[in-house]
Copies of this chain bind each other. A is one copy, B any other.
Amino acid sequence: MHDLHTVAASSRAAYLTLADADANARNRALLAMADALLAEKEHLFSENAKDIEDAKQSNLPAPLLKRLSFGEEKLRSVVQGLRDLAALPDPLGHTTLARELTEGLKLYRVTCPIGVIGVIFESRPDALVQIASLALKSGNAVLLKGGREAAKTNLALCNVLRNAAEKTGLPADFAQLLTSREEVSEMLKEDELIDLIIPRGSKAFVRYIMDNSRIPVLGHADGICHVYLDRSADPAMAVRVAVDSKIQNVSVCNAMETLLVHREIAPVVLPDLAEAYAQAHVDLVGDEETVSLIHCQPASEEDWSTEYLDYRLSIRIVNSLDEAIDHINRYGSHHTDCIVTSDDAAASVFLRRVDSAGVYRNVSTRFADGFVYGFGAEVGIATGKIHARGPMGVEGLTTYKYKLLGSGQTMTDVKAGRLTYTHRNLEEACPL
């Protein structure tokens, strides 16, 4: 690997070429990547076997081994993902505003790629393919840094994608792999060449990146998701949603970590819930009132702001909808929060006032996902407020530019009253 400045400059050149490539060229590259992954599968599997062997030697826990493995099933899934992505509409070149400013002067706001994006992700090789392909579809170049446990698999995958892109005439450097922490540190300094950093990881990790770069950061940080069972919740639905949100997959960011229950419904639903959670071996901690109703340990203040990612749940009884909303806005991570209620007015207040990327009514928090939303896949789930929120698919990887088409208009003419603003909205796409 050359020095990072040279690498980033090469990404920038690749981006400027990609941004100018038409949708067919980008989609052809995606399909070529799918074919190449299938053709090279034996090599990919054997490189993955080496990573797995190394990981076993260093006693990596079983769930992490499962994420690290890249076999037939994950291959089929990423190949299908590439083909689905190729079939999605082009996110670039859309006119989202068209307006006549003054006679003969037309303003267009047109979607375009962001540029060069650095993505730091966990030891899950299929993530590399998803991220690189979303970037290419949206005309961006990416610098990729995966978990070191997946080093050999990532290198093999990245080379297959780069070669496939190059064979269809697009620059191989649309995706470049970083292999060391030092390179990540160097990357964070290249704010003239890199437009965005997407770190996937813990809140502490995302903060570390923010503290060490002036490049904008879209953090995919922790998910302290809540389900609030309103007093008018249907009890059977309350149990179903609260159980699924917790136990369908405990180790993901959209799993519930805290359950809030309205006092009036607590005696009705908590016993059933406690039984369901006991069957699934979920450890419960609760506030004083919860402890008085069901068998569970007392929760500490720290529990309310902890992402367990495990078979553990904190439960709190609240006196009102407002108290539930205040708890979520105070302790939550602005990821995804759900109200279970049959009351439209309560649902409306919750959806408006809870300050999170996803606000749900009567549905498991596990639905917060780019694939589920129909975005093809996601480069991350943004918990900040700026640019993109929630699951970030190709749309989240675009920005826009203003194109202004005139015929010699000057501000001097405006100031002299020879031109006046019309500000007439137009129904047309930018012709250039």
Contacts and interface: CB of A to CB of B under 8 A. Distances in A.
A249 interface: yes
Contacts of A356: 401
| Interface range for A | 35 or more
A14 to B, nearest CB: 13
Contacts of A386: 114, 195-196, 216, 218, 386-387, 399
A373 interface: yes
B361 A406 contact: yes
A421 interface: yes
Contact of A409 (B115, B364, B389, B409): B364
Contacts of A407: 237, 362-363
Interface in A292-347: 329, 344, 347
Interface of A: 16, 19-20, 99, 101, 105, 107, 112, 114-115, 191, 195-196, 207, 210-211, 214, 216-218, 234, 236-237, 240-241, 243-244, 248-249, 329, 344, 347-348, 351-353, 355-364, 366-368, 372-374, 384-387, 389-390, 399-412, 415, 421, 423, 432
A419 to B, nearest CB: 10
13 contacts: A16-B329, A107-B373, A216-B386, A234-B408, A249-B411, A344-B432, A358-B404, A362-B407, A363-B407, A364-B411, A386-B387, A387-B387, A390-B401
B115 A385 contact: yes
Nearest to A218: B386
B196 A403 contact: no
A249 B414 CA distance: 13
A104 to B, nearest CB: 9
Contacts of A409: 362-364, 367
Contacts of A240: 408, 410
B20 A411 contact: no
Contacts of A361: 403-406, 432
Number of copies of this kind of chain in the complex: 2
A270 to B, nearest CB: 18
A367 B20 CA distance: 26
A353 B19 contact: yes
Nearest to A249: B411
A313 to B, nearest CB: 16
Contacts of A432: 344, 347-348, 351, 361
Nearest to A373: B107
A105 B363 contact: yes
Contacts of A20: 352-353
A410 B242 CA distance: 9
Contacts of A101: 367, 372-374
Contacts of A362: 405-409
